[in-house]
Structure 1
Amino acid sequence: MKTETKSGHLSKGLVVGALVGAALGVLVAPQPGKQTRDL
């Protein structure tokens, strides 16, 4: 049986959260990147 430490769970949570956040940011971005950077 494999046991994980709390830091292992934290690391996985941070990675998953970053991926989900990046995906949502790309999907709901109101303008293309070049236009956003020019603001």
Structure 2
Amino acid sequence: MSAGLGSGPFFYWIIPISLFIGFWITQRKIPKMEKEIN
């Protein structure tokens, strides 16, 4: 079991986490940009 826990779980975790962080950053920045434009 430990043999399969090399870089596999890291890949499976880092991809959704990076996507979630990117989505969260865009959700945080877009409202600020809209406020500045208005």
TM-score (norm 1): 0.58
Task: Tell me the number of residue pairs that the alignment of Structure 1 and Structure 2 aligns.
Answer: 29
1:20-31 correspondence to structure 2 within 5 Å: 20-29=25-34, 30-31=37-38
Kindly report the root-mean-square deviation, in angstroms, between the aligned alpha carbons of the 2 structures. Answer: 1.7
Identity of aligned residues (%): 7
TM-score (norm 2): 0.60
Structure 1 unmatched ranges of 5 or more:
32-39
More helix by proportion, 1 or 2?
A: 2
Q: Which has the larger radius of gyration?
A: 2
Structure 2 unmatched ranges of 5 or more:
1-5
